[in-house]
Structure 1
Amino acid sequence: MNRREFLQCAAVFAAGASSIPTSWALSNEQSRFLAGQTNYIDRKPLTYFNAAQRAAVTAAAEQVIPATDTPGATDAGVARFIELMVADWFNDAERAMFDAGLADLLARANGDFAALSGKQQLQLLEQLEAEAGDAQWYNLGNVTRVWDSEAPFICQFKELTVLGFMLSEVGGTQFLRENPMGSFNGSLALAEDDSAYAAELPMRMLSAETGL
C-alpha cells in the first residue's frame, strides 16, 4: 500500500466515517486493512495536544468551516480528527511541520489563539495563508492530491479541516447531498437482455453499412 492509499485509509479510520466516498474506489488491500481495524474514534484518548493547542485547533477549524445555516467544524468534531491524524498517522516530517506551525500560530496570538476575537483569529489565519501563497499546494488545478507532505502548516490545517468535516457523519448527512446519478463506472458490462447505449450502436451500424 503506497502513501496515498495509506492516508486514504487513515482519514476514513480517524473520522469514523459511516461510508467511504465513492470517488476513492479503495483497493482490495485497503479494504482488508480497514476491515481489520478496530474503531477508535470515540474511545481513543486525546493526549497529543495540550489544552492551549487543542483550543487553538478547535477555534481555527471553526474559522475555516464556521457554523451558519449548516453545521460547522466544531459540530463535526474536526478538532478530534485533526489531533488523531497528527498523532497517529503523520510521518515524522509532516508532524514536525504541523507542530512548528501550530507553535507559530500560538506565538503570534500571545499563547492563546482561542482567546482572540473571531475577527482577529481570521486575520491571523489569512496572514499565514498570504505568507504561504507561493507553495505548490496553491497551484491552479492541483486537485488530484490526497496529501502534500511538503505543504506549509496552514495548507495542512485547511486540508485536514475540510477532510475531517466531509468524512464526518454531520458533514455527510447535513452538508453534502446524495448524488442521484450514482457513481460513474466506465467498465459496466451489458447483460444479455440489455439494449446498447443509444450513442454507440447507431454509429457502429453506420460504419458497418457504409464501410467508413
Structure 2
Amino acid sequence: MKRRQALLGITLLSAGSVAFSSYKWLSWYKKPDLVYVHSQKELLAALAETIIPTTDTPGAIEAGVPDFILKMVVENTMTASQNRFIDGLKAVDPYAINRFGKPYVKCTRDQQNEVMRHFENAGKPFEGIPGKVERKLIGNSFFTTLKQYTCVGYFTSRLGATRSLAYVFTPGGYTGCVPLITGQKSWAIR
C-alpha cells in the first residue's frame, strides 16, 4: 500500500511541476501590456538616470534615453523579453516601497542604487550553455534589457557621442599606434 501512495505522490508532484512550468512558459509568450510601459515614462527616466547619471557630462534623461528605451521595448524586442521587462518594471515600485517606504522615483540616489543592485542580482542568467538557452528561450532579464538599451541609447545620441566620448567629426587617416594620455576619454568612432 505504501508503494502505491509513493507512486501516486511522485506522479502528482511531477504533474504539478509540469503544469507550473508550462503555465510559466505560456505566461512569457502572452500579449505584453504595452499600455503600462507607456504610462511609466517617469520611472523609466529615473531608472536610466540611475545607470548614467548627470555629472560633468549630460545624463541619460538629457540625452533622451527614456524615449529610446520605450521605442526599443515596444517595437524591437521579442515578446518574451517584453514580458520579462514589463514584469520587472512592475516589480520596481513594490520592491522600493517594501524596502524604503516610498516609490523608486522618490528614493534617494543611494536607495535607487540599492534597488538597481537587487534587480541586477535577481536577473543574472545561468553560466555557460544553460544561460544561453535561457536567454534564447525566454529573453534577457529586466535589468539586462534596461542596461543595454540605456547604454545604446545614450552613446548613440548626439550628447552621449560628442560630450561623453572623444568625438572626431571627420577622422583623419588611420594611425595604428597612438599613445594614450592619462585621463583620456574613449573614442566615439571605431
When normalised by structure 1's length, the TM-score is 0.53
Aligned-partner Cα distance in 1 for 2:173–2:117: 37
Q: CA deviation at 1:50?
A: 4.7
Contact 1:94-1:150 within 8 A present in 2 as well: yes
Which residue of 2 is the match for residue 87 of structure 1?
A: 74
Which runs of structure 1 show a deviation greater than 4 angstroms over 4 or more consecutive aligned residues?
134-137, 179-184
Aligned-partner Cα distance in 1 for 2:60–2:174: 27
Aligned-partner Cα distance in 1 for 2:36–2:68: 12
Which residue of 1 is the match for residue 88 of structure 2?
A: 101
Q: Map of 1:112-151 to 2, 5 A cutoff?
A: 112-135=103-126, 150-151=139-140
CA RMSD of aligned residues (A): 3.0
Which residue of 2 is the match for residue 175 of structure 1?
A: 164
Aligned partner of 1:91: which letter? M
Contact 1:135-1:151 within 8 A present in 2 as well: no
Q: With CA pairs under 8 Å and 6+ residues apart, which has the higher RCO, 1 or 2?
A: 1
Aligned-partner Cα distance in 1 for 2:67–2:127: 27
Contact 2:88-2:142 within 8 A present in 1 as well: yes
Contact 2:81-2:141 within 8 A present in 1 as well: no
Aligned-partner Cα distance in 2 for 1:47–1:132: 23
Taking structure 1 as reference, are residues 183 and 160 closer, same or farther at Cα in structure 2, changes over 3 Å only?
A: farther
Aligned-partner Cα distance in 2 for 1:124–1:155: 14
What residue ranges of structure 2 are gaps of 5+ in the alignment?
A: 1-33, 129-134, 176-190
Q: CA deviation at 1:101?
A: 0.8
Q: CA deviation at 1:61?
A: 0.6
Aligned-partner Cα distance in 2 for 1:96–1:131: 16
Aligned-partner Cα distance in 2 for 1:66–1:76: 11
The size of the alignment, in residue pairs, is 130
What residue ranges of structure 1 are gaps of 5+ in the alignment?
A: 1-45, 138-146, 185-212
Contact 1:70-1:174 within 8 A present in 2 as well: yes
SS at match of 1:84: helix
Which residue of 1 is the match for residue 55 of structure 2?
A: 68
Taking structure 1 as reference, are residues 135 and 54 closer, same or farther at Cα in structure 2, changes over 3 Å only?
A: farther
Identical amino acids, percent of aligned pairs: 30
When normalised by structure 2's length, the TM-score is 0.59
Q: CA deviation at 1:150?
A: 2.3
Q: CA deviation at 1:136?
A: 5.2
Contact 2:124-2:141 within 8 A present in 1 as well: no
Aligned-partner Cα distance in 1 for 2:118–2:139: 19
